[in-house]
Homo-oligomer: A and B are copies of this chain.
Amino acid sequence: MPTVFKILLVDDEQDILDFLSYNLKKDGFEVHVANNGRDAIEIAKTVVPHLVILDVMMPEMDGIETCRELREIPSLKDTMIAFLTARNEDYSQIAGFDVGADDYITKPIKPRVLTSRIKALLRRLNPEETHIDKMEVGGIKIDIERFLVIKNGEEISLPKKEFKLLALLATKPGKVFTREVILHQIWGDEVIVGDRTIDVHIRKLREKLGDNFIKTIKGIGYKFEF
């Protein structure tokens, strides 16, 4: 557990930056600031903050987009991201985006509420809860962060759907995933795709990984084995 938490504030309004910065520093946090998304990403890369507080509304690159890009950076995988929104703002849109935010903070901000909120957030950052996004199964390494599969030291890059499919099967090697479950997990609740779609993706995976990793259970589904 680090002794001092690093927070990166991102907002285009200097007043808000100053206000938050002052309050957070007073509470013992190490505070960094950025006026826009672009700078934020650069600073985040070097500082590697524990928490990024992002204003949703910003010119050029908004909070959503910034968040998405931050989430792409492997070194920030344990960084938490919180959005800052006006209370009456319609953030139903935001909710729809699956950009991986950890919290929403509404303006106007009351300093005491903010810090307790932040502490609660950072409490989640303990080592035992950091989730596993790398797995190694039967000579195949799957790195969820980088969207990479490594087989015999060789990197194989898979398209999104194929990767998700493999990652799903690999979460429980040996367990049989029914076609139904696969559909729901990978394609979602409402999307309807044809029968052969799964097969084709399985085939492509087998093509790239070798035939002996994914086993078919006729009438049921597939499982990952070695």
Contact = CB atoms under 8 A, between A and B. Distances in A.
Categorize the interface residue count of chain A: 35 or more
B218 A160 contact: yes
Nearest to A15: B92
A146 B223 contact: yes
Interface in A176-194: 176, 178, 180-181, 183-185, 189
Interface in A90-147: 92, 95, 103-104, 129, 131, 145-147
Contact of A176 (B47, B147, B176, B218): B147
A157 B217 contact: yes
Given A159-B219, A160-B218, A184-B46, A131 B3 contact: yes
A22 B159 contact: no
A157 B147 CA distance: 30
A21 interface: yes
Contacts of A223: 146-147
B104 A180 contact: no
Interface stretch (A26-34, A57-65, A195-203): A26-34
Contacts of A217: 147, 157
Copies in the complex: 2
Contacts of A145: 172, 174-176
Residue among A3, A22, A131 with most chain B CB within 10 A: A22
B176 A22 contact: no
Nearest to A27: B103
B95 A160 contact: no
A126 to B, nearest CB: 13
A129 B174 CA distance: 22
Contact of A160 (B34, B159, B220): B220
A176 B131 contact: no
Interface of A: 3, 18, 21-22, 25-26, 32-34, 39, 43, 45-47, 92, 95, 103-104, 129, 131, 145-147, 157, 159-160, 172, 174-176, 178, 180-181, 183-185, 189, 217-220, 223
